[in-house]
Amino acid sequence: MAHVRSLFFTGAASESEAKAQAAKKAGHPSSLIWNITNRCNLKCSHCYMAADAHILPDQLSDEETIQLVDRMHEAGCPVVFISGGEPMLRPNFWEILERVHECGIKPTISTNCTLVTEDNAQRLKDNGVKWIATSLYGTREYHDELTRVPGTYDKVMAAVRTLRAHDIGVVLKTAITVGNWPFIFDMIQIAKDEGVGIFYICDLITSGRSEGEEALRITKEQWRELCDFIVDDMLDPDSHMEYDIGAIPSTIPYIAEKFIERGVDVSKGLERLSLFSACPVGQGHMAINSAGDIMPCQFSQEWTVGNIRDMSIEDAVKLLRALDEQPSEGQCAPEVCAYTHICRGCRVKAWMRTGAENGGNPHSEDFSCILNKAEGERDVDLAAAGAAAGAAAGAAPCKTICGH
Ligand SMILES: C[S@@+](CC[C@H](N)C(=O)[O-])C[C@H]1O[C@@H](n2cnc3c(N)ncnc32)[C@H](O)[C@@H]1O
Ligand code: SF4
Ligand code: SF4
């Protein structure tokens, strides 16, 4: 998760980013993603949670969910992303939301929007919801085929309009694959036309119903094309779109390089990245699943570090922070990659690739780095890029990009 505009300039996510940074500095959780249920009314073909009609047998009870909200509050958590499965299917969804609001925690709801109506849009607003994050995958035909429920595309589009009419901000999210790559630029245009504030693009995580589907991931060239588009769009004075990029942190140094090539001052972004690397693992960020398991990231459903039933949120933050203290390895190691301090590589992909069944090594290299064509073969000469950037900014190369 990296909000590109708010990172380098000022954007729709600046307020929540500032809150997250302050929380991290204070040793509090900076952001928390909470899958309150695994149950879902859709059956998306790519779902990393393999969500369906079932709930987990050891799901947190209603009482435990309310206690957990209170514990988040006591631990100084500024924002919570209430997700699922489909969170609005959980019978005590509104009770949870009301408690979050009463505690002063800022809620964002991550929902497939099939249950958003006029009435409950107002109820969401009354409970302090400023942002709803919902998913769009392409054309009507493609979206409905992927979610395996006809009519879903129309429900999402109707909900987006309802939410905007209630002045609730909308984040449109897509997991990008070779299947919906042909629609990505049209989806961004739809988002702009519908008054969507943030467009989130996530690399495919090959777990759950996507397990083993490596061939569905778009290429590094396509990621670079997408980043080039984002850079152009962010330099267009008429565009205010906030872009959020998930599970592929190397896009951030790539974008920084492109801004530098265009003579754009990236010092604010680099300063922020020196506090928060592009991969959020160990940065105060955490995810909690519907059974209370604590995870370094929402995509690491099988890489858990404890359970909220027997671990405090404060201890979980400390435990997760220790992950950030160990250097990344291989092509992401500090002696190999000048960008490791601001990027770190995706720790979940590293963990998954080294074999969940063997315990996983979250510090191993991120094979999906878009700065490389293949192992050992760089598209971008990092040293030269740093030197050119340094000359342009009148600073030492390392200072310009890495801040060290
Ligand atoms: C698990 S869903 C939960 C919230 C809600 N049900 C929804 O679909 O928006 C959260 C987000 O994860 C994304 N997602 C699901 N499987 C994924 C995968 N394998 N890789 C990347 N993102 C994925 C979905 O597209 C969705 O935007
Ligand atoms: S991606 Fe969301 S809507 Fe789709 S099956 Fe998974 S939890 Fe349900
Ligand atoms: S090599 Fe690793 S740390 Fe360096 S930019 Fe690529 S993914 Fe990030």
Q: Name beta bridge partners: 34.
A: 82, 288
pLDDT at 388 over 70: no
pLDDT at 299 over 80: yes
Tokens of 81: 């992303």
Averaged over 277-304, what is the pLDDT?
A: 94
- State the Cα–Cα distance between residues 336 and 188, nearest whole angstrom: 35
How crowded is the C-beta side of 249, counted as CA atoms within 13 Å? 24
pLDDT at 355 over 90: no
Which pLDDT band holds residue 1 (cuts at 50, 70, 90)? confident
Which pLDDT band holds residue 386 (cuts at 50, 70, 90)? very low
CA-only gyration radius of the chain, Å = 20
Averaged over 5-13, what is the pLDDT?
A: 87
Mode of pairing for the β-strands spanning 372-374 and 377-378 = antiparallel
Higher pLDDT, 152 or 22: 152
Q: Is 84 helix (H, G, I), strand (E, B) or coil?
A: coil
DSSP state of 55: P
The gap from C-alpha 332 to its chain's centroid, in whole angstroms, comes to 20
Q: Is residue 231 within 8 Å of 303, Cβ to Cβ?
A: no
Ligand nearest to the CA of 147: 2
Q: Could you give the dihedral angle defined by the CA atoms of residues 156, 160, 166 and 168, in that order, rounded to the nearest 10 degrees?
A: 110
- State the Cα–Cα distance between residues 240 and 5, nearest whole angstrom: 9
Q: Kindly give the number of the ligand 2 atom that is closest to the alpha carbon of 112.
A: 3
Task: Please name which of 93, 85, 82 lies closest in space to residue 44, comparing C-alpha atoms.
Answer: 85
Q: Is residue 84 within 8 Å of 33, Cβ to Cβ?
A: no
Q: How far is the CA of 227 from the centre of ligand 1 (A)?
A: 21
Averaged over 101-110, what is the pLDDT?
A: 97
Higher pLDDT, 374 or 206: 206
Mean pLDDT, the chain, integer: 91
Q: What's the pLDDT score for residue 396?
A: 32
pLDDT at 394 over 70: no
Interacting residues of 291 by C-beta distance below 8 A, sequence separation 6+:
56, 58, 59, 60, 307
Q: Is residue 255 within 8 Å of 230, Cβ to Cβ?
A: yes
Q: How far is the CA of 193 from the centre of ligand 2 (A)?
A: 25
Averaged over 205-228, what is the pLDDT?
A: 96
Using a 6 Å cutoff on CB, does residue 253 contact ligand 3? yes
Averaged over 8-17, what is the pLDDT?
A: 80
Least reliable range by pLDDT among 7-21, 227-241, 310-324, 353-367: 7-21
- State the Cα–Cα distance between residues 249 and 357, nearest whole angstrom: 25
Pocket test for ligand 3, best of 324, 332, 402 (most atoms within 8 A of CB): 332
Q: How far is the CA of 346 from the centre of ligand 3 (A)?
A: 8
pLDDT at 118 over 80: yes
Q: Is residue 162 within 8 Å of 119, Cβ to Cβ?
A: no
Distances, alpha carbon 266 to alpha carbons 159, 175, 224, 325, in Å:
36, 27, 19, 25
> What's the pLDDT tens digit per position in 15-37?
777 777 777 777 889 999 999 99
> What's the pLDDT tens digit per position in 263-283?
999 999 999 998 889 999 998
Number of H helices, E strands in the chain: 15, 13
Q: What's the pLDDT score for residue 398?
A: 32
Q: What's the pLDDT score for residue 189?
A: 98
Mode of pairing for the β-strands spanning 131-135 and 242-246 = unpaired
Using a 6 Å cutoff on CB, does residue 279 contact ligand 3? no
Which pLDDT band holds residue 372 (cuts at 50, 70, 90)? low
Q: What's the pLDDT score for residue 390?
A: 41
Tokens of 224: 């670079």
